[in-house]
Amino acid sequence: MTMSELTLKSSVEEPVRRFEVFTGAGRRRDWSAEEKARIVAESFEAGATVSAVARRHALSPQQLFTWRREARKAAEAVPAFVPAVVAPEPVLAAEPPAASPHRKRRSRQHRRAAAIEIDVAGVKVTIENGASPATIAAVLGALKAGS
């Protein structure tokens, strides 16, 4: 058996279509961020396997798994906002007549007033009393980024 028969055998019974020869002092290939992102996205497609995608791009599966892990960690580091849901203001039913002024006074004490109300392009954002400064900063940052 010749050396080329040993090295060019494929697990699938088809001829090898590409054979790369690296010369020099074992220099590594340099992948651009766009190429890595494209290959990682290809590995997440339905029906794709990491081994097949890695083989197609002359990578080791371990390298592709490393790129996928790095992409996942980078995505987790970016703060994400959930979409805002605009709900109509609740319609208050007519209050039954109070039996005594004492009862009326208590209902006023339990009513909570909004600390901050922001109306932007017809969308009203209400931040209640007791909201943390981090929450307020996040809401204002999201509004600023959206405008």
Question: Taking residues 19-35, what's their average pLDDT?
Answer: 77
Residue entry with tokens 């396997």: 49
Residue that the structure tokens 């980078």 belong to: 74
111 pLDDT more than 60: no
Helical axes 33-43 vs 61-77, angle rounded to 10°: 100
The model's pTM: 0.40
Residues 6+ apart with CB under 8 A from 65: 50
Using 50, 70 and 90 to split pLDDT, how confident is the model at 34? very high
User: Residue 133: what pLDDT?
Assistant: 80
pLDDT for 27 equals 65
> What distance, in Å, lies between the first and last C-alpha atoms of the chain?
70
pLDDT digits (tens, 9 = 90+) for 39-82: 999 999 999 999 999 999 989 999 999 999 999 998 887 776 76
